[in-house]
Amino acid sequence: MKLTDWMAQAKLSDAELALEAGVTRSYISRLRTGDVSPTLATALRIQEVTNGEVELEQMLPGHLRPGFTLPARRSAVPPDTSRKQPAPKASTRRASA
C-alpha cells in the first residue's frame, strides 16, 4: 500500500505520522510527494508505525534485491551493564560555617 493511501485510510496527518516515526512534518510531506527517499532506518520506522501495511519495496523502489526479507524482529535486548560506570566525582567544596 502507498504511504499516502495508508495515511488517508488511517486519517493521519503529516504531523501525526512524523511524530510517531521520529521525523519532521516537512520530511513526511516530501516523502509522500517523492521529493526524497527515506533511509532504511526511517523506512523501517514508518513500516513499524503502519504495522507493515506500507511495504519497504514501496518506500525504497529499486533499492532492494528481489526477494529481500528482513529477519524476524527480536525482543529488546537489555543494555550491557557489565561495564562499570565511572563513579561520580566527590565535591571538593567545603560547607561554609
Cα 49 to Cα 44: distance, rounded to the nearest angstrom? 9
Place of cell 513499524: 48
Helix axes 14-21, 25-33, angle to 10 degrees: 110
Give the three cell numbers for residue 43.
523506512
Residues, the chain: 97
pTM here is 0.63
CATH code of the domain occupying 3-56: 1.10.260.40
Could you say which DSSP state residue 85 is in?
Answer: P
Ranges of each domain in the chain:
3-56
Asked whether the beta carbons of 31 and 3 are under 8 A apart, the reply is: yes
Taken in order 16, 14, 48, 50, the sign of the CA dihedral is positive
Residue with cell 561520580: 88
For residue 69, the model assigns a pLDDT of: 66
Residue 16: what pLDDT? 93
Walk along the chain (97 residues) and give the pLDDT tens digit of each residue. 888 899 999 999 999 999 999 999 999 999 988 888 898 889 989 999 998 898 887 888 777 677 666 666 554 445 555 555 556 666 666 656 5
